[in-house]
Amino acid sequence: MKNSSKIVAFAVAGLMATSPLLTSISANAAPAAQSSDAVAKMSNSAKNNSIIKTDDEAFRSLREIRASRLAIFNGDVDQARKFAVAAMKDMTAAQAGAQKTMVPTKKSSNGDSYIPFDVSIALADDFVMTPEKESKIKQANGHLAKGEQKKAVEVLKLTNIDVVVSAALIPVNASVTHLQSAINLISKKKYYEANLAMKAIVDGIVIESYGIDDVPYQGEKN
């Protein structure tokens, strides 16, 4: 993923960097302590002000998948199974609510439901700083620090500052299938194959970006 030297601030499950000028509010990434450019974790009430609502269970499941794979690497197979089972529970919960959280994707869905587990805002790549824009960015940061994504975007739009919304999406049905396979393989002591089954889940993640006026609808269309 491209990480521009301009004001780009993404934090998809802690995999992307954050800019000091525009605080990216990731719905699920952990904040850095006492840092002005930290990624702030949004509360449930703050999510009502988010542009795209994320799925907490899907995010939690991905963390547990990572922990399970690490446990396999360390030879701790009991912990690996424990984390895989927990990941399955969370991913199944995400699957149950997918009709409300799913978003369309440019990638062929193959009948699966892609749900967002992390969302971030950044300034467009062609952004040029001016004193007026710098002031508005600071104002937008104040809203973002409170989880008020919509208000932050409105501030930027009034100053004709273009923003890009990026969402990390995961195919939830395929992920459940891979997790079940991983749990079965761990039970059969096929740890290498179990790791590959969980890796397939991570490999299935899609990152999509939208202009602020092109943010997709969530949930199934009636």
For tokens 């397939």, name the residue.
Answer: 200
Q: How far apart are CA 202 and CA 61, in angstroms?
A: 11
- Would 163 be classed as within a structural domain? yes
Specify the pLDDT at position 10. 30
- Would 54 be classed as within a structural domain? yes
Q: What is the pLDDT of residues 80-105, one digit of tens each?
A: 999 999 999 999 999 999 999 999 88
Specify the pLDDT at position 18. 32
Residue 22, C-beta contacts closer than 8 angstroms, at least 6 positions apart: 7, 8, 9, 121, 122, 123, 137, 140, 141, 144
* Residue range(s) defining the domain that contains residue 136: 44-214
Q: How far apart are CA 59 and CA 57, in angstroms?
A: 5
Task: Tell me the sheet residues that pair with 209.
Answer: 166
Specify the pLDDT at position 158. 84
Rounded to 5 degrees, what are φ and ψ at 52? -125, 125
Mean pLDDT of the chain: 78
- Would 220 be classed as within a structural domain? no
- Would 37 be classed as within a structural domain? no
- Would 30 be classed as within a structural domain? no
Does pLDDT of 41 surpass 50? Answer: no
First and final C-alpha spacing in the chain = 34
CB 39 within 8 A of CB 30: yes
Question: Which two three-digit tokens encode residue 126?
Answer: 């062609």
Q: What is the pLDDT of residues 170-196, one digit of tens each?
A: 999 999 999 999 999 999 999 999 999
Give the pLDDT mean for 139-150.
83
- Would 20 be classed as within a structural domain? no
Question: Do you know the residue count of the chain?
Answer: 222
Q: How far apart are CA 215 and CA 166, in angstroms?
A: 9
- Would 201 be classed as within a structural domain? yes
Question: Which two three-digit tokens encode residue 33?
Answer: 């302590």
Which residue has better confidence, 211 or 37?
211
Does pLDDT of 198 surpass 80? Answer: yes
Which residue has better confidence, 169 or 135?
169
Q: What is the pLDDT of residues 56-72, one digit of tens each?
A: 999 999 999 999 999 99
- Would 199 be classed as within a structural domain? yes
Give the pLDDT mean for 124-139.
83
Q: Where are the alpha helices (DSSP H) in the chain?
A: 44-47, 56-73, 77-96, 98-101, 131-145, 149-158, 172-187, 191-203
Number of domains composing the chain: 1
In the DSSP assignment, the letter for residue 213 is: G
Confidence of residue 215 (pLDDT cuts 50, 70, 90): confident
Q: What is the pLDDT of residues 2-37, one digit of tens each?
A: 332 222 333 323 333 233 334 343 334 333 332 333
Which residue has better confidence, 9 or 115?
115
CB 165 within 8 A of CB 119: yes
Q: How far apart are CA 103 and CA 177, in angstroms?
A: 20
38 burial type by CB count under 10 A (0-12 exposed, 13-18 middle, 19+ buried): buried
Order of all β-strands in the sheet with 114-123: 114-123, 163-171, 206-211
Look up the CATH number of the domain holding residue 90: 1.20.120.1940
